[in-house]
């Protein structure tokens, strides 16, 4: 097991102070173009990134070398979940303020972050059932299904299921946070509200509903997107919004498929660690579509 002390990794108490362009230029001249090699108060990089802390978190349960890869890829995905949630929340905030153009930027970053999630799965392509079985029993009932950050991401994307908050009830803070996220409008709910403010005929029932329940596709939302896509050109910001949302939905669908492939590669049709039917459960979950009217409207365009 790797039990590196983050303080040892940092080497000393690290501090970070701001600098400006003139200071950086002066330092480069004084160093004759070489990097600075001595710091009085620890490494500034450590003060900012906390790399020592990050590298202390890989605490494997077995002596099998492959488990480190499995654990680190899982942790990398958790960080990507958090970043995706951050970007989606920022986009949601901007859309509430009708700042469509500005919202395109965090949405674009979210799409790229989800692509990073897809890439993370490729880091586990080496794992066969024999490889996984060498340490799987030690995981007990631990399952990615129990990721609170992933659940936040699903809720933001509009995939709402109240019962999926139950596993977190013994962690009061996290449970309360997930209940709040469940009851808040998703990104898609805010997009629908935006369409209404932009003059599209959206029924009140879609704007004043229980947001803890998953949105059901509605022909009025579908019709709005058909109308939006009739107008070409960069001045049509709603069309640009539709395209970046489509990119997010497509990459998220790819992530779920990559998950299914990884499970089938390492477990076949065996039961999952968290009590599910494994690959069969994942296949059923893939039937839930993110931003559904963006897809169904294409049939009518």
Q: How far apart are CA 296 and CA 287, in angstroms?
A: 14
H or E segment and range at residue 280: helix 279-285
Which phi and psi angles does 52 have, rounded to 5°? Answer: -60, -40
Q: How far apart are CA 16 and CA 163, in angstroms?
A: 44
H or E segment and range at residue 243: helix 237-267
Is the distance from CB of 187 to CB of 88 less than 8 angstroms? yes
Of the candidates 182, 179, 184, 203, the one whose C-alpha atom is nearest the C-alpha of residue 192 is: 203
Q: Do the annotations mark residue 175 as ligand-binding?
A: no
Q: How far apart are CA 132 and CA 70, in angstroms?
A: 9
Q: Do the annotations mark residue 136 as ligand-binding?
A: yes
Is the distance from CB of 11 to CB of 42 less than 8 angstroms? yes
Is the distance from CB of 215 to CB of 184 less than 8 angstroms? no
Q: How far apart are CA 220 and CA 226, in angstroms?
A: 10
Q: Which residue stretches of 134-236 are H helix?
A: 148-157, 172-183, 187-197, 204-207, 219-230
Q: How far apart are CA 294 and CA 301, in angstroms?
A: 11
Secondary structure letter of residue 147 according to DSSP: -
CB 137: neighbour CB atoms within 10 A?
Answer: 10
Q: Which residue ranges are tagged as binding site?
A: 136, 259
Q: Residues comprising the binding site for substrate?
A: 136
Annotated binding site for heme: 259
């Amino acid at each position: 097991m790797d039990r590196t002390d983050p303080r040892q990794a940092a080497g000393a108490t690290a501090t970070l102070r701001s600098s400006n362009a003139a200071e950086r230029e002066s330092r480069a001249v004084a160093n004759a173009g070489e990097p600075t090699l001595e710091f009085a108060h620890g490494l500034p990089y450590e003060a900012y990134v906390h790399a020592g802390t990050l590298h202390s978190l890989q605490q494997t349960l077995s002596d099998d070398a492959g488990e480190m890869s499995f654990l680190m890829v899982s942790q990398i995905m958790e960080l990507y979940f958090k970043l995706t949630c951050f970007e989606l929340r920022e986009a949601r905030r901007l859309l509430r303020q009708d700042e469509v153009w500005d919202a395109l930027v965090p949405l674009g970053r979210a799409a790229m972050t989800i692509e990073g999630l897809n890439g993370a799965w490729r880091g586990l392509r080496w794992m066969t059932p024999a490889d996984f079985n060498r340490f799987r029993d030690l995981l007990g009932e631990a399952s990615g299904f129990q990721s609170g950050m992933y659940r936040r991401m699903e809720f933001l994307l509009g995939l709402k299921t109240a019962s999926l908050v139950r596993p977190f009830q013994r962690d009061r803070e996290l449970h309360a946070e997930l209940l709040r996220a469940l009851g808040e409008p998703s990104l898609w709910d805010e997009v629908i509200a935006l369409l209404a403010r932009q003059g599209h005929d959206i029924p009140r029932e879609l704007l004043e509903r229980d947001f803890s329940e998953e949105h059901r596709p509605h022909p009025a939302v579908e019709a709005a997107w058909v109308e939006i896509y009739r107008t070409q050109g960069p001045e049509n910001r709603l069309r640009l919004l539709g395209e970046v949302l489509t990119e997010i939905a497509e990459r998220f669908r790819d992530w779920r498929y990559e998950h299914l492939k990884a499970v089938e590669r390492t477990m076949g049709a065996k039961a999952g660690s968290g009590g599910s039917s494994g690959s069969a459960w994942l296949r059923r979950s893939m039937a839930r579509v993110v931003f559904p009217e963006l897809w169904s409207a294409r049939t009518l365009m």
